[in-house]
Structure 1
Amino acid sequence: MSKVLLHPTYFPSITNFAVMVQKNILWEAEDNFQKQTYRNRCYICTDQGKHMLNIPIKHVGGKEGRQKYKDVVIDHSENWQKQHWRTLETAYRTSPFFEYFEDDLKPLFETNATNLFQFNLKTIATIGDCLGINLSQDFTEKYILDPNESVDARILVNAKKDNQVMTPEYTQVFGERHGFIPNLSVLDLLFNEGPSTLDYLKNVRLDFLDA
């Protein structure tokens, strides 16, 4: 079975995580960082509706404007981790399973991670632990524009492309207020569905992969 080439992202979207659960993953580790992608953001639902959590990064200027994703450094000049955790608490405290997973997730927001790529892998591994599964430790060794030996799903790092996949409805905390919001961060699914999360992810249709 061909491996699926994917970017590690910040608390990945449901579609991204469904790919991780259903396929053998090869992590793209040699590409350049691009702004306004899931590399340093995820989406949740608050009482105000769909809400973005964004990790600030230290931008490289001048001739060094381009940098490898794996070299991107997180900017801690503002306490974004405290802000993100407070937002998650406010949004999901009343969800069925927030307290069940709280102790697993909170430590991620209490240590000053420096490397974005490694921190994202840590968020993915933590969700994997919550679901009782091990996730891929395989990484690319060079950047290939058109890979022949793997299925290229790197486009999913682009939030607009990712939202073309329809994820089945489940009960959300603010569903009565905002209606169902598809394909949020896997955190939304985890806090609302708890032990059913893994079965849900196994049943998301991934026809777009043709794999």
Structure 2
Amino acid sequence: MKIEKKKSASLPISSRSSSKLMVVTDSTSNMAFPRTSGKILAMHQPNYLPWLGYFYKMAHCDVFVYLDAVQFPRGQSFAARNRIKTPNGVTFLTIPLRHPKGREGKFTYLEVEFADDKWKAKHLKTVELSYKRAPFFKEIYPLYREQLLAHASFVELTIGLIETFANYLDIRSQRIRLSRLLSQFGQKSQLIVDLCQATGATVYLSGTGGGKIYNDEQFLNQHGIQLIYSDFQHPTYPQLWGDFVPSLAVLDVLFNCGRDTRRFLLANS
């Protein structure tokens, strides 16, 4: 498929970029995936309050693409919800959404809208009651609240939250929206090729979930792209409310660890 670059491609969400493999350097760094001198690209859908592994991948690439123009997933997913830890156990924060009618489930992240705004007050109250005793509540809660109240669009909110926390953690990768980069693009491995060609990347950093199923390494190699996988291992850190629970929304580690969360982005935990 022909790749068409949009003029706004030169206007990334974050203009801070790095030519190094590791955006944040530290003497404790010990990356398990292969080192390379090539420009590294990573990508992911702009989900609501993603887990720490999302930010780990973002910190270990040069260019990160928000897949805001891809199809919104059907059924239960982590697109519009994630888990936090409350005094009564783990619970989901879920955004009620309204989808375009008559599209048979085929619509993009950009086309999804809030069903209403009532959920915002509920999420704010739940987060406040769950984390008001956390060491960094006074730092993180205002950031979360500001973004929640500032946006009337699902994608603007999710990207706004991710950007806010990425900047808080001093993640210096260049971040770009797919919708501002390409007007036409392929799917699966072809999308990777299209994005690498559009950004000049020669290495693709994939997650270890669905990526291992869908990535066609031979196809990528034929287009001069090296495939590597994230080596993220979830850390254990002090948590409120009983035994440690991994893979929660990034809010949990930020409330409990603050800027010290950066050390989990530097190397295997």
Tell me if both proteins adopt one fold, taking TM over 0.5 as the criterion: yes
Structure with more helix by fraction: 1
Question: Which TM-score bucket, shorter chain as reference?
Answer: 0.7 to 0.9
Cα displacement (A) at 1:155: 5.0
Residue 160 of structure 1 corresponds to which residue in structure 2? none
TM-score normalised to structure 2 length:
0.65
Matched, 1:70 2:143: no
Matched, 1:83 2:122: yes
Residue 138 of structure 2 corresponds to which residue in structure 1? 99
Cα displacement (A) at 1:46: 0.6
CA distance in 2, matches of 1:195, 1:88: 19
CA RMSD after TM alignment: 2.3
- Specify which of 169, 175, 198 is matched with residue 262 of structure 2: 198
Residue 182 of structure 1 corresponds to which residue in structure 2? 246
The one-character-per-residue Cα deviations of 1:180-207 (angstroms, maximum 9, x if unpaired) are 11111111000001121111222246xx
Cα displacement (A) at 1:156: 6.6
Equivalenced residue count is 193
Q: How does 1:99-178 map to 2 (within 5 A)?
A: 99-111=138-150, 113-134=151-172, 136-140=174-178, 141=182, 142-146=185-189, 147-148=192-193, 149=196, 150-153=204-207, 166-174=233-241, 177=242
TM-score normalised to structure 1 length:
0.81
The ranges of structure 1 where at least 4 consecutive aligned residues each deviate by more than 3 angstroms after the TM superposition are 132-136, 148-157
Identity of aligned residues (%): 24
With over 3 angstroms needed to count, the CA separation of the structure-2 counterparts of 1:145 and 1:156, relative to structure 1, is closer
- Larger Rg, first or second structure (1 or 2): 2
Cα displacement (A) at 1:60: 2.4
With over 3 angstroms needed to count, the CA separation of the structure-2 counterparts of 1:2 and 1:130, relative to structure 1, is closer
- The SS at the match of 2:235 is coil
Q: CA contact under 8 A between 2:57 and 2:205: conserved in structure 1?
A: no
Q: CA contact under 8 A between 2:50 and 2:82: conserved in structure 1?
A: yes
Structure 2 residue ranges without an equivalent (≥5):
1-38, 197-203, 212-231
Structure with more strand by fraction: 2
Q: CA contact under 8 A between 1:44 and 1:53: conserved in structure 2?
A: yes
Structure 1 residue ranges without an equivalent (≥5):
158-164, 206-211
Q: CA contact under 8 A between 2:52 and 2:247: conserved in structure 1?
A: yes
- Specify which of 65, 77, 84 is matched with residue 37 of structure 1: 77
Q: CA contact under 8 A between 2:135 and 2:257: conserved in structure 1?
A: yes
Residue 226 of structure 2 corresponds to which residue in structure 1? none
